[in-house]
Structure 1
């Protein structure tokens, strides 16, 4: 499953499965991962770059502050029986 969206001033929270790829299609993306008990790792993506999740994670995606809007594509691996699609986190804002 693939989904593309634009971000400008908002931060979008997603719950993503292992194997999901986050692709920067334009602008610059800032990814922050929710990791209980440790500092949250950050990943910056330029146009054409991608990041593949090695484990299920809560990911916050935003356009890099001051760099203008960004275009993000999420490519989730095919679901197996009983698996959920990626989901928006409560309280996160989508454009």
Structure 2
């Protein structure tokens, strides 16, 4: 669960991950190869499922107060690989 106020967080998420608004209003935008970067607004109870791997930028909607975002893992994959979600700070995975 992420609590957001004035900051914008960047997450690297795998296809199938879901972002769920648990309070406040969330703004999402994406950085994905060869795809447009849509803006998505989520109200409490709404969710957005990623259709491809992407870097996701998440923030509370400006002027709407704090927001809560839950990140749900995609269905389990049998292939080995990196975790389904990585915090990014300064352009590097931590």
Alignment size in residue pairs:
89
Residue 87 of structure 1 corresponds to 86
Distance 2:66 2:3 in 1: 7
Q: C-alpha deviations, 1:29-57, integer Å up to 9, x for none?
A: 00010135665211000000000000000
- Listed one character per residue, the Cα deviations across residues 2-25 of structure 1 (whole Å, up to 9, x for unaligned) are xx1100001000000000000000
Could you tell me the TM-score, scaled by structure 1's length? 0.84
1:25 maps onto 2:22 in alignment? yes
TM (normalized to structure 2)? 0.85
SS in 2 for 1:89: strand
Structure 2 residues without counterparts, runs of 5 or longer:
none
TM-align CA RMSD: 1.8
